[in-house]
Structure 1
């Protein structure tokens, strides 16, 4: 199974984090989506062949664990339906069921045996 992994982080001040990651570590913006207040809803930064995702923390939403989670991993997989079925069959704690997103992906989120947040889906930041 081919997969691509992307660390995903939430910051109290995402615009500041974007600038800091650029000046301190050399990351360059790949994609930046602003929210209604001018903050960063979602950004992607690249460094060489690597890419990270980041955004600002938001008020909790019962259906979206990513609003407040400080860090997790997003994994782009080719066959999301099979992946989801396998995770459910193995007893993974599904915290966001498989569904279509407004940005054209199909995704779900789960917690691993240590409580860490993972999202699996069809969104590939390199193709955005």
Structure 2
């Protein structure tokens, strides 16, 4: 099954957040389109075979939440903490069978990494 829904986030400064998302959360940079002033208008980041899109917001930012599946939430958490992530909820087992943690990116968006795969 190919991806048909593409989470998209807008940031006040997508150019600054882009390397943070790559180094802290381990996403991969697939494409970046910036204007002459260096403002990132559109970027595509990879997570396994899926794509998350980001760009610079006309105003505001930081009001979204994403859930990404990961085989080892504890290992991913350790990497994120070592890279300076602000952890909102540490790794924990959930009633729905997932083990997961949540961190906040530099502009306030929440990212949860866990083992739960929606049906």
The bucket for the TM-score relative to the shorter chain is 0.3 to 0.5
Task: With the length of structure 1 as denominator, give the TM-score of the two structures.
Answer: 0.43
Task: With the length of structure 2 as denominator, give the TM-score of the two structures.
Answer: 0.46
